[in-house]
Amino acid sequence: MTEGSENRKSVKILKMNIVITGASSGIGKTIGEYLVAKGHRVVGTSRHKEGVFGNLKIVRLDVTDDDSVEKFVPLVIQKLNSIDALINCAGFVISGPVENFSIEECKSLFETNYFGTIRVTTALLPHFRENGKGKIFNMSSMAGLIGMPFQAHYSASKFALEGLTEALRLELFPFNIQVCNINPGDFNTNFTANRKITAIIGEAYKDKFNQVLSMYERDENNGSNPIMIAKLVESLLYKKKLKVRYVIGKPTQTIAISLKRIFGESIFEYVMKKIWKVK
């Protein structure tokens, strides 16, 4: 065995200190439990839970509240001593026609999915800069690359993460802090059960909304095992250089991102109209 291969092997067994927001359910929970089982030290967060659940330690954190984030940061640094990676998973979806969304519903979605990510990330950046390293994983979505009818504001919040990540990568490059997006397709989690619906569904949209929502729920319930995402994240913990984004899911879904890039937006939109039966 060469000296280089020995060094690579020694790096591979390095265990990381990791913070995961939104770790009490869904993709965040799966990632947290998997990383703990692999020997990493993980602190997960939840708005409603606190304690040890299975093998995962959960600390209460409301990513929509400035004071909650301010109190959380010194606490988690004390628990882990040094943080190697932040995984921003806190998020949820509200479905409904754009016309029927209230501003309050729209704001509540962005407060968690977008501003929540910003609050936790910026609060931990001084720690990463002091350490001279760090990795930040933002849980975006394929819906952050493709606008989803009747989930427009969810898509918008994920599109916002795309721009945030691209800009942060450039700002943080001099400090050896890397940022990337994870863009899952449909995975079999409690995402469907936790979906919220706008308080009003106008009669003009009701039939089409129910049809499209039924398609979404079918694909979600038949989605891939989220352990795929957990394995991807662990592999990226050791990767020397992160790409901007990692699209993951069934090939029948992930190919859509390539098709949009290759054929252009007009042709792609035409195909999506056929798939979603938009007339």
**Catalytic site residue 216?**
no
Catalytic residue among 25, 46, 95, 140: 140
Tell me if residue 102 is catalytic.
Answer: no
Q: In the annotation, is 24 catalytic?
A: yes
Written in H, E and C, the secondary structure of the chain is CCHHHHHHHHHHCCCCEEEEECCCCHHHHHHHHHHHHCCCEEEEEECCCCEEECCEEEEECCCCCHHHHHHHHHHHHHHHCCCCEEEECCCCCEECCHHHCCHHHHHHHHHHHHHHHHHHHHHHHHHHHHHCCEEEEEECCHHHCCCCCCCHHHHHHHHHHHHHHHHHHHHHHHHCEEEEEEEECCECCCCCCCCEECCCCCHHHHHHHHHHHHHHHHHHHCCECCHHHHHHHHHHHCCCCCCCEEEECCHHHHHHHHHHHHHCHHHHHHHHHHHCCCC
Query: Which of the following is catalytic: 34, 154, 216, 246?
Result: 154
* Residue among 24, 25, 46, 155 flagged as catalytic: 24
Of the candidates 29, 57, 158, 216, the residue annotated as catalytic is 158
Active site residue 140: yes
Point out the residues that are catalytic: 24, 140, 154, 158
